[in-house]
Amino acid sequence: MKDSLIIVGCFVLGVIVAICGLLPEGFVPGDYTEYLLYLLLICVGIAIGMDESFIPSLKGQRAHHLLMPLLTVLGTLAGCLLAFCVMLLIYREPPVSALDTVAAGAGYGYYSLSSIMLDKARGAQLGTIALAANLFRELITLLAAPLIRKWFGPYALISSGGATSMDTTMGGIVKQCGSAYAPVSLYHGIILSIAVPFIVT
């Protein structure tokens, strides 16, 4: 929770700084986000490459465990399309297209990467929506972990965590489901983290 609140605090601080006009003249955030995105992708690659437990954790996994990332992708896609249908009922002209709705949700909880990518590709509005959607996914997984586990089972909790099931939500997953689910949670999070740049674009 602390890391998530720090991210929200940084976002709010950025909005306040921009509104108050405290930025240097000629400062254009878009000039920096592309380089920050590349740096973030390098850091993701380094983190995955340094994780010595990743390959050994795959050994002994059941076939349906290996399919979990695909099922999470399909479930998220269906949820995003359902959200767009709800927007169609509320608004005559939804503020974002179906494709943008799916792209915003395709961060699978990886808000820092997906929001930067969408901000650069489609503008600040969609980048902000992606940040909020993926941050809420992580927060809901953390706060509702006992209920998700009780009502839908351990695999639903892992899927709910999305890409964060390898780091920020893994502690809650292991606490609610047991250490036996740690390897599949790690695998699930790593595969989705690798997939985010491809699926979002």
Q: How confident is the model at residue 77 (pLDDT cuts 50, 70, 90)?
A: very high
Q: Is the pLDDT of residue 7 over 80?
A: no
The SS3 call for residue 108 is coil
Return the exposure string of 54-91: e unless at least 16 CB atoms fall within 10 Å of the residue's CB, then b. beebeeeeeeebeebbeebbeebeeebeebbeeeeeee
pLDDT given at position 110: 84
Two tokens, residue 63: 């076939």
| Global confidence as pTM | 0.75
Q: Which residues contact 193 (CB under 8 A, 6 or more apart)?
A: 44, 48, 110, 163, 166
pLDDT score, position 114: 85
Q: pLDDT per residue over 19-76, tens digit each?
A: 887 777 766 666 666 677 677 667 766 766 776 766 666 666 677 778 899 999 999 9
Q: Is the pLDDT of residue 1 over 60?
A: no
Distance CA 167, CA 1 (A): 12
**Which residue from 170, 174, 177, 172 is spatially nearest to 153, judged by alpha carbons?**
177
Contact assessment for residue 44 and residue 113, using Cβ atoms and an 8 Å cutoff: yes
Query: How far apart are the C-alpha atoms of 167 and 130, rounded to whole Å?
Result: 19
- Please tell me the least confidently modeled range out of 7-11, 58-62, 87-91, 142-146: 58-62
| DSSP H or E run through 164 | none
